[in-house]
A and B are shown apart, each in its own frame.
Chain A
Amino acid sequence: MNTELMKERWRRNWYKFSRNPLSILGLAVVLAIILIAIFADFFAPYPEHAFVFVDFKNAKRPPCWQYLCGTDMAGRDILSRIFFGFRYSLVMAVSVLSVATPPGVLLGLVAGYMRDTWVDIAIMRVADVFLSVPSMVLALAVCSMLEPTLYNAMLAVTVMWWPWYTRLVYGAASSIKNEYFVQAAEVTGASTFHILFGEIFPNCLSTIFTKMTLDVGWVILIGSTLSFVGLGAQPPTPDLGTMVSDGSKYIPAQWWISLFPALFIVVIILGFNLLGDGVRDMLAGD
């Protein structure tokens, strides 16, 4: 494609995106989080505090210049742990979404295109089974039956997640399938593969992409909730949910131990939600 056109497209997208200052804020937050997560060793004031470290002499320090967010029960710097915690949150979100999305989308495409055939019925009923209880409940149930690790939590959330994409793409695909351009391709004799991926899929992309950016926040939320109840990441992993949960036992005396991780969970989710809305504005009607 013509570079000039590409540039124009980007300019337009950026315009649409940046019309809402909150989207820019979201983008900034997300970029900051990603940067901090990648270079946590660099940004964290005490990178060695992130995992296994004890310094009981400095335990339970309230926020001060030396420890901006205070220290926890074992004397670890909370801010450093939060920075490393971003890593786990992002890893969780990225791996869940990158594993759950492709099969979800594929099944949705196939079912949508083959609407009202047994393929559709089979796929969608299975998806319905997964959607028939609140995802949090199912995630909790699955997690509780597996060994509690970050990995298993991701697995459980992934298993919960694909049907949402299936349903989303199904809706889009089964209406796009009736568009004249799909019929035109059929009349020409294009293969089913081409119709699915060449004609229908590109038109679902913006919907999928929008949902994915918004979902990052939700995955992090579910992940931290699982950790909060002890079914997710395990100490000494610096996971935000686990930190809130462990710290909550020391509220109100050592309020900072759980307050700051909690605050940063809110910031992450807020950042991704704002970004997601911006992306939605950007892709809407394109």
Chain B
Amino acid sequence: QPAQEPEPAPVPSEPIVYRSTWAWPTRIDPAVGSDGSSTAAHPNLYNSLVRITPEGVVGPELAESWTTSNEGMTYTFTLRQGVMSHAGNEITAEDVVFSMDRLLGMGEGLAYLFLPYIDEVTAVDTYTVQFDLLKSFGPILTVMPNFFVLDKDVVMENIAEGEYGDLGDYGKEWLMTHDAGTGPYKVKEFLLEEKLVMEKYEDYWGETLDVEGFKFVENAPDIMEMIGTTEPITVRTMMSRMELERTDSWQPIENLEEMVQTEGVEMIGEVGTSLLNLMMHTNKAPTDDVHFRRAMVYAFDYETVVTDIFPHTTLVKGVVNEVLPGYTPDLEPFRRDLDKAMEELEQSVYYDQLDEIEIEIHWCAEVPAEERISLLFMDNMADLGISVKIVKEPWLSMIETMADPELSPNVVVVYNSVHFPEAGGDLMRYHSESAPTWEQNEWLLDETLDQMIEDALGTVDQAERFEKYGEIQEYIYDVCPTIYVLQTTTLRCVQDYVDYPYVEYGEQVSGFVYKVPLGFRTYYGLYTGVNQP
């Protein structure tokens, strides 16, 4: 007789399930994961010390309050008392120290945001923790939401043999499929390569401690499923069958537009902070000539991008995304102007060798729409008599190519996202340190600029800092290293029975409403209600 495994006991009312698709892999260890789906999971499983509030300012989370001293070199956080982890342990300063040590010690994931700045973290007492910086870093608090606190005891219970001495593997293997957090959700089931299922943590400290802004909304999902697929036909099928509440952000616009036809499905555009750029190699012929670059910048057909390739996106007005604090509106945006382009080209040293020149443009194999950008680019450049070779490259190999000035192509199509939500978070990629990474294909290697960036980032006072950001933007505008194609808008489809709190933003284009998700983060249980039909 087969042992009768009871069908899971029917709960009085159907659990509210919220399903979304994501590009895999999802690494729920906050010291490891850094990509879209991982960072979407982290704030639901874990908490940070501070967060960006719906109003867009830094607000308390695990830390109730904080102070700055020592000219911005020391930050002291006072922790909220009585915060219990999923395992039932209280979160103390020691856990914070452990979590930061772990993040820095492993050096993976988002550690790069902290490694250059954080010197030491110490527990002053049970509820006080002190961060000593290596150098002054003005926007540090806007970066802090990327640091998540783990329950040290749980991690230590689950360490396996590994390369970190006494700390074994730092709990890495276990944390890949389990959580040690305090967040509103906890891991229910983690199916590798398939899906992550999280369930509502009823004893979330926001509820138990009765903290405003950290309580579940009405009809908060009981179950959260993050499904690892982006296959358009599959996603579309699931949406139409109401097997999915929200799509991933990788769906081609055509697919989204089709999905919207289904009743009850609506498309939302989450205005992003990143840019789609064509980065030009300023240390490689012929893009090492500023006139040549300007010619290209003026020849590119920006309008076609937003009308035909990426509808519902907006053009860049300057050198950073206009939603970022610290953006300067003073710069005249580049638009297609063939006359100007020809003018610039004539000034270029390469003007009489155009026949011999071939520019290589690389695009990322994982983002098919980039092919069209490349094709458009090629077409536009042909108007100037510049021939272009298009190369499709998988992201991983692209990273390698861009790390080497010799291999780096003349032009690369890349999405650049910000390290922290300020203009500086984008501008810092022009620093020489970023040159050998995928963040900068421009190879500017400009010491003056490096100086300006370091100075700006080290400024604690916000107004002063923003002013310095403005100067940097003007400087870069002159060098003209990048063709700023567009400001991203993350388009998704959602079922209309899901409530999202959004801030509406910007002008309306063809009846489509742009929205900014509050706090640049999706805290599902806190913001999202689902009324399953």
Contact = CB atoms under 8 A, between A and B. Distances in A.
Direct contact of A and B (CB under 8 A): yes
Interface of A: 52-54, 56-57, 59-60, 73-74, 147-148, 230, 234-236, 246, 248-254
B507 interface: no
Contacts of A56: 304, 307-309, 372, 376
A250 B372 contact: no
A57 B379 CA distance: 14
Interface in B377-413: 378-379, 388, 390-394, 397
Contact of B254 (A234, A235, A254): A254
- The list of the 8 closest CB pairs from A to B, nearest first, reads A56-B308, A253-B258, A234-B392, A54-B379, A54-B375, A249-B232, A251-B233, A253-B254
Contact size range, B: 20 to 34
28 contacts: A52-B378, A54-B372, A54-B379, A56-B307, A56-B308, A56-B372, A56-B376, A59-B308, A73-B369, A74-B372, A148-B365, A148-B392, A230-B365, A230-B392, A230-B394, A234-B391, A234-B392, A236-B371, A236-B375, A246-B368, A246-B371, A248-B233, A249-B232, A250-B232, A252-B236, A253-B254, A253-B257, A254-B254
Nearest to A246: B368
Contacts of A54: 372, 375-376, 378-379
A250 B252 contact: yes
Interface of B, secondary structure class, is helix
Contacts, number: 67
Contacts of B236: 252
Contacts of B462: none
B255 interface: yes
Nearest to B232: A249
Contacts of B365: 148, 230
Contacts of A251: 232-233
A52 B375 contact: yes
Interface string B244-256: 0000000010110
Contact of A250 (B255, B378, B394): B255
Contacts of B397: 147-148
A147 B368 CA distance: 18
A77 to B, nearest CB: 14
Contacts of B390: 52, 235-236
Nearest to B305: A56
A205 B393 CA distance: 42
A235 B394 CA distance: 12
Nearest to B397: A147
A266 B394 CA distance: 27
A56 B372 CA distance: 9
Contacts of B369: 73
Contact of B371 (A57, A148, A235, A253): A235
Interface string B352-379: 0000000000000100110110011011
A285 to B, nearest CB: 48
Nearest to B261: A253
Nearest to B257: A253
A73 B378 CA distance: 15
A114 B309 CA distance: 63
A254 B256 CA distance: 12
B379 A250 contact: no
A252 B378 CA distance: 29
Given A52-B390, A234-B392, A235-B392, A252 B233 contact: yes
Contacts of A234: 391-392
A258 to B, nearest CB: 10
A53 B374 CA distance: 10
Given A249-B368, A250-B255, A74 B375 contact: yes
Interface in B211-251: 232-233, 236
A236 B388 CA distance: 12
A150 B415 CA distance: 27
